[in-house]
Amino acid sequence: MIGSTPVINRNFRRRAAAIAIAVIAAGLAGCTLGPDFKPPPAPAVAGDRYTPTPLPPLTDAAPGTGGAAQRFAWGEEIPAQWWSVFRSPPLDQLIRAALAQNPTMAAADAALRQAQENYNAQAGGLVYPQVNGQAGAARQKAAASAPGAESSVFNLYNASVSVFYTPDVFGATRRALEGARAVVEYQRYQIEATYLALSANVVTTAIRQASLRAQLQATREVLDALGRQLGVIEKQFEYGAIPRTTVLSQRNQLAQIAATVAPLEKALAQSTHQLSVLAGRLPGEGGMPAFTLESLALPERLPVSLPSALVRQRPDIRASEALLHQASALIGVATAAQYPQFTLSGASGVASPSFGSLFDSNSSVWNLAAGLTAPIYNGGALKARRRAAEAAYDAAAAQYRATLLTAFQNVADSLRALDADAAALKSQAEAEALAAETLALAEQQYQLGGISYLVLLDAQRNYQQTHIALVQAQAARYADTAALFQALGGGWWNRER
């Protein structure tokens, strides 16, 4: 076989290597056109100001579940596993399962690998010379009238190595690779954004499940109380002490509240199904933990990143910055396309009409060539492409700005929500306690004949509404606490790699 013959090895490899070194050296002395990317600076924000007016350092406190006062700890680091602040082992296990099994995480990881391999392929095709080996054997018939032809049929054997290279004189290759690296960075931050969104979805769904379970329990407690009251009223009706309309009104009240049970049960089941899917499991597999508000601790100390650090911590901001970087690099690519392009090529090998003499010293062949392609007239297409690249950069810059504004709004909304939640829960707890006391007093007075049934009915309705509202206010504090951690980026930068 041709490849097994050792005669050509030394000189053949030496000439090929010399050609490769020559063409690489020719491409190292170029310049890089286009703008050099600089990350946008953090917005100028005074101190720790996310909101127009300062927040109190401590929120209000309220009795009962989820009523602890929360302190804003400005500048403190956010834990990598931010959900651990709720101190719930079942929640920790569920999030670990979701991160390991949810297909959205697998898809994000695959997209990163794809971007990395695309970059590797682009680097291999643009940065390094293309070296190809070729060997062939042919039998040909020449025209008998060909000058100097001794035979009209002859053999031709050849073996060669060719090198082709485009020197990056004006930086088109470097800018193209810069843009490809930016795409890799974008996908890397997309993974972090998916990680954050998935963990936050598990936490908020668990909190919603706990809230629905608490609302369902509160509704059943009200139904039990109304059922007992209905028994008293029916006996009074049997003794002729009250009209039938009173019994019907109580039954109607009971039926109206009972009608709210089925929607709550449906929503509770759906939240459990969603937890299963988030964990990468089919809803029918079951085995999901049953969360309650009492099983979740409300963190009393809330680390809050400073505004100057937020732009480096939010994965969506970093991803948008990577796209801005790519757009900047593409301006350089479009700029370099307006300048001449050089090509260098060379080949070294052997050729002979007989296989036996293929590797003789006088059978060697080689060539070295250089080329230049310069744009002269293209109807303004190259300038238009550069202007298009600049417009794409402006669009990416505007999108970056929009992402930044949304991020700061998310943090401001969460901070204000936490402050308002605490005040609302305090008021709601007072209202629920007063409604419960009013209902107990109304029941006593009604049994003694001191008030009409309509007054009792109104007290029952008011207590039921305030009792459910209290549970919802408690759940809001947990949900908005999770929203704050998500708005701040979730602490991914503190995670061990």
- pLDDT on residue 356: 66
List, in sequence order, every residue forming a beta bridge with 156; answer none if it has no partner: 138
Highest mean pLDDT pick, 12-16, 76-80, 120-124: 76-80
- pLDDT on residue 245: 87
More confident residue, 180 or 460: 180
Task: Report helix, strand or coil for 135.
Answer: strand
More confident residue, 172 or 181: 181
Q: Kindly state the average pLDDT of the residues 76-101.
A: 95
Residue 6 has pLDDT above 50, yes or no: no
pLDDT tens per residue across span 408-422: 999 999 999 999 999
- pLDDT on residue 12: 46
Q: Which of 86-90, 121-125, 204-208, 443-447 shows the lowest per-residue confidence on average (mean pLDDT)?
A: 121-125
Tokens 């670990």 — which residue? 96
- pLDDT on residue 133: 77
Question: Do 422 and 60 meet the contact criterion of CB atoms below 8 Å apart?
Answer: yes
Q: Cβ atoms within 10 A of the Cβ of 15, count? A: 19
pTM of the model: 0.83
Torsions phi, psi for 355 (to 5 deg)? -65, -35
Please report which confidence band the pLDDT of residue 116 belongs to, taking 50, 70 and 90 as the band edges.
very high
Residue 28 has pLDDT above 50, yes or no: no
pLDDT, mean over the chain = 86
- pLDDT on residue 146: 53
- For residues 307 and 317, give the distance between their C-alpha atoms in angstroms, rounded to a whole number: 13
Q: What is the 3-state secondary structure (H, E, C) of 395-464?
A: HHHHHHHHHHHHHHHHHHHHHHHHHHHHHHHHHHHHHHHHHHHHHHHHHHHHHCCCCCHHHHHHHHHHHH
Task: Report helix, strand or coil for 170.
Answer: coil
First-to-last C-alpha distance (Å) of the chain: 51
Sign of CA dihedral 463, 469, 474, 477: negative
- For residues 146 and 166, give the distance between their C-alpha atoms in angstroms, rounded to a whole number: 38
Residue 11 buriedness (CB in 10 A; 0-12 / 13-18 / 19+): middle
- pLDDT on residue 4: 39
- pLDDT on residue 43: 85
Residue 463 buriedness (CB in 10 A; 0-12 / 13-18 / 19+): buried
Residue 438 has pLDDT above 90, yes or no: yes
- For residues 398 and 186, give the distance between their C-alpha atoms in angstroms, rounded to a whole number: 17
- For residues 45 and 318, give the distance between their C-alpha atoms in angstroms, rounded to a whole number: 19
Please report which confidence band the pLDDT of residue 9 belongs to, taking 50, 70 and 90 as the band edges.
very low
- pLDDT on residue 3: 40
With CA atoms as reference, report the closest residue to 375 among 114, 212, 172, 216.
Answer: 172
- pLDDT on residue 26: 47
- pLDDT on residue 18: 52
Residue 31 has pLDDT above 90, yes or no: no
Helix (H) or strand (E) holding 7, with range, is: none
- For residues 61 and 253, give the distance between their C-alpha atoms in angstroms, rounded to a whole number: 34
The residues, any chain, with a CB within 8 Å of residue 89's CB and separated by 6 or more, are none
Residue 138 has pLDDT above 90, yes or no: no
Tokens 């049997």 — which residue? 238
More confident residue, 242 or 109: 109
DSSP at 87 = -
Q: Cβ atoms within 10 A of the Cβ of 145, count? A: 7
pLDDT above 70 covers a percentage of the chain that reads 87
Between the alpha carbon of residue 328 and those of residues 47, 119, 395, the distances in Å are 31, 17, 11
Residue 213 has pLDDT above 90, yes or no: yes
Which residue segments constitute the domains of the chain, with CATH numbers given?
Answer: 1-30+130-166+342-374 (2.20.200.10), 32-127+168-339+382-494 (1.20.1600.10)
Torsions phi, psi for 414 (to 5 deg)? -65, -40
Question: Do 491 and 82 meet the contact criterion of CB atoms below 8 Å apart?
Answer: yes
DSSP at 354 = S
pLDDT tens per residue across span 222-272: 888 888 888 888 888 888 878 888 888 888 989 998 999 999 999 999 999
Angle between helices 89-101 and 261-278 (to 10 degrees): 60
Please report which confidence band the pLDDT of residue 122 belongs to, taking 50, 70 and 90 as the band edges.
confident
pLDDT tens per residue across span 302-345: 999 999 899 999 999 999 999 999 999 999 999 988 888 888 87
Task: Report helix, strand or coil for 147.
Answer: coil
pLDDT above 90 covers a percentage of the chain that reads 52
Residue 14 has pLDDT above 90, yes or no: no
Question: Do 202 and 97 meet the contact criterion of CB atoms below 8 Å apart?
Answer: no
- For residues 252 and 150, give the distance between their C-alpha atoms in angstroms, rounded to a whole number: 116
- pLDDT on residue 7: 40
With CA atoms as reference, report the closest residue to 418 among 470, 474, 481, 485.
Answer: 481
- pLDDT on residue 27: 47
DSSP strand pairing (153-165 vs 130-141): antiparallel
- pLDDT on residue 243: 86
Question: Do 221 and 256 meet the contact criterion of CB atoms below 8 Å apart?
Answer: no
Between the alpha carbon of residue 325 and those of residues 121, 332, 334, the distances in Å are 20, 11, 15
Complete DSSP assignment for 27-84 = TTT----SPPP-PPPPP---TT--SSSPPPSB----SSTT----EEEETPPPPSSGGG
